């Protein structure tokens, strides 16, 4: 049974935080699905991931291509994971079901702490998942570094 990790972004934007989390997930040997709600936003994240970190790009692809099953990271608006993802990183309010949390190694829910609607959506997601018995952690960067603030 996996766990849901909530990341409350306040200092660094998604475009900076996502590559760091993806590198950690890939380092753990996980395949990842980055699930969003807006194809245009995923296109911008796709372009950002091609830049990668100092040592090059992060291997990834956009869903709908001929090699989806081979992608270590797949950006998608769908709940389907043709790449066999064991980790889902939900961005921009993409929903995650309790059954997914229980089936996967990890679910990461990244939300913009400067957007009241995003914060409220994350709170609703926390309530849904924890009431369903899912393990969850809440991480905040309000102090300038990541700190675990709550666990259920």
Average pLDDT value for the chain: 93
Determine the pLDDT at residue 40: 94
* SS3 per residue for 71-99: CCEEEECCCCCCCCCCEEEEECCCCCCHH
Q: Per residue in 75-97, pLDDT tens?
A: 999 999 999 999 999 999 999 99
State pLDDT tens for residues 17-59: 999 999 999 999 999 999 999 999 999 999 888 876 666 678 9
Residue 120 pLDDT > 80: yes
The domain 3-151 belongs to what CATH superfamily? DNA polymerase III subunit chi (3.40.50.10110)
Is the pLDDT at 5 greater than 90, yes or no?
yes
| Block residue for tokens 């309000």 | 142
Look at residue 52 in the predicted model and tell me its pLDDT: 60
Check pLDDT > 80 for residue 119.
Answer: yes
In degrees and rounded to multiples of 5, residue 94 shows phi and psi of: -60, 135
Tokens for 123? 């709170």
Please state the pTM of the whole predicted model: 0.93
DSSP secondary structure, 16-56, as one string = HHHHHHHHHHHHTT--EEEE-S-HHHHHHHHHHHHH-BTTB
- Rounded to whole angstroms, the Cα distance separating 11 from 101 reads 27
């Amino acid at each position: 049974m996996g766990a849901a990790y909530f990341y409350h972004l306040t200092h660094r934007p998604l475009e900076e935080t996502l590559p760091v989390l993806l590198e950690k997930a890939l380092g753990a040997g996980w395949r990842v699905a980055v699930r969003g709600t807006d194809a245009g936003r995923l296109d911008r994240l796709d372009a950002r991931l091609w830049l990668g970190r100092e040592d090059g790009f992060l291997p990834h692809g956009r869903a709908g291509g001929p090699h989806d099953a081979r992608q270590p990271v797949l950006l998608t608006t769908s709940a389907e994971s043709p790449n066999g993802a064991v980790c889902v990183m939900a961005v921009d309010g993409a929903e995650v079901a309790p059954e997914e949390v229980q089936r996967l190694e990890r679910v990461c829910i990244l939300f913009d702490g400067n957007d009241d609607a995003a914060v409220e959506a994350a709170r609703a997601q926390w309530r849904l998942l924890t009431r369903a018995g899912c393990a969850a952690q809440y991480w905040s960067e309000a102090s300038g570094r990541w700190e675990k603030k709550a666990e259920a």
